[in-house]
Structure 1
């Protein structure tokens, strides 16, 4: 029988602090920190590469809306299509950060449900639109974004940890977390595993770009980023609980299915970069 005293009991307040009547939640705060870090890092990369400020200014807007819209639609379409696509209320909730109440009326809950695969796809589409406007090289832009991606991904997963969501399977490893908002059994802290992996990715990418700046613009950094993140994501899914009931009938879960195309794309980009080097 497991001794629950040996594990980490996890029950943080989802609210970080209040600004008057406004409640600032850890999840939203982690998103903001991650995006601000990426903004500053990419701004520095642009300066290193002597890319004009006028080309950098609109980048944050494209990235923000690309990630948010893609992540939201990804969750709704990949994980809960039966809810969001079968009623007018579901369609409204997919677009607006509200939830209709059973007794009538509605309340603002934020976007409760964001999928990283959808966010990645949304970001790629947004960057394609961005380079069409700025006429910059798509591979230079993708590589710059990729170098900063690990920092943002790390903070987003820390936000999931603070929310006690995307929990792992039951385990008896000594570093297991008991997510008291979920149940009273020790589980893999899958969010923490991913956060650590993405922090390591950022260190690798930032170090490599300093040693091999000539690779920026070949697509290699973008390819490595996709391959690293989604290969890790594929295998880490084995430690995580499925997010939706329909996944139980699948040979691999939805997160793994959606990771495969990104792994293939990442490998292709790395091979392509090697050929043109």
Structure 2
């Protein structure tokens, strides 16, 4: 049995200004994506050049923040949004949803791809291996904040989080850090190291994230105000991840059948 280390969620205090670890995790994710994107962009067959990464990160950040916040309020806080629409803009109160952020990034990357004269799918597949770093950092932020805990467990790595009682719990944030962050990054970075048919990298990303999130939801406590949606186990996270799994399989099948032509840069 492990004990939660009780980390202060505030990393630095400068007078009235408090810089939270969770916010720093977003910065780490964006900076790492920018740096690795510049490295990838040096390869001639990539659809994004190193000097275009500055603009890409701005587009992506807008998609993540706007989409993530809208998604959270629609999927997890609809009652609060209906009674207090201004809650949508109070980002400092917390509440971001990956699935909403994904939709937001899809929209902003479509705009970015049009701006630089590239295809939407090649651009999305260029950034797909950069995303898990931010996902993993965000899960570490959840762990530091003491949120999104798992169900009780008797496994030796169960962790006691005092505000929830004396029972050891699955450190589900760390499971997601390992799967959505580390494992998904390694797989995508390796898989995308050379040209692939259009749709293949995107399919791996959607399938990999969808399966990882769906699996961890079995040991992660659902949001208290939502609970399980059906059968005593289906969560909102699983409901939103299921279409990603289906879309990932469909994209991979489409690419493997030769219908996804190689990216234009590959010839």
Residue correspondence of structure 1 range 60-209 to structure 2 within 5 A? 60-85=57-82, 87=83, 90-97=84-91, 110-197=92-179, 198-209=181-192
Q: Distance in 1 between matches of 2:93 and 2:57?
A: 20
Secondary structure of 2:192's partner?
helix
In structure 2, runs of 5+ residues without a counterpart are 262-267
Match among 220, 231, 236 for residue 200 of structure 2: 220
Corresponding residue number in structure 1 for 2:38: 43
Shift of 1:187: 0.6
Contact 1:154 1:199 in 2 (8 A): yes
- Offset from partner CA, 1:220-273 (integer Å, 9 cap, x none): 111101100111111110101111333335231100000011111111211222
* Cα RMSD for the two superposed structures: 1.8
Residue in structure 1 matched with residue 264 of structure 2 by the alignment: none
The TM-score normalised by the length of structure 1 is: 0.86
Once the two structures are superposed, residues 167-203 of structure 1 have per-residue CA deviations (whole angstroms, 9 ceiling, x without a partner) of: 1001111111112244332110000001011201111
C-alpha distance in structure 1 between counterparts of 2:51 and 2:153, whole Å: 51
Counterpart CA distance in 2 for 1:27 and 1:137 is: 33
The count of corresponding residues between Structure 1 and Structure 2 is 254
SS in 1 for 2:4: strand
2:53 matched residue in structure 1: 56
Tell me, which stretches of 5 or more residues in structure 1 are unaligned? Answer: 1-5, 98-109
TM-score (norm 2): 0.89
What are the equivalent positions in structure 2 for 1:232-251 lying under 5 Å apart?
A: 232-251=212-231
**Cα-to-partner distance string for 1:55-76 (whole Å, 9 max, x where unaligned):** 4332111100101111111111
Residue number among 245, 249, 267 corresponding to 1:263 in the alignment: 245
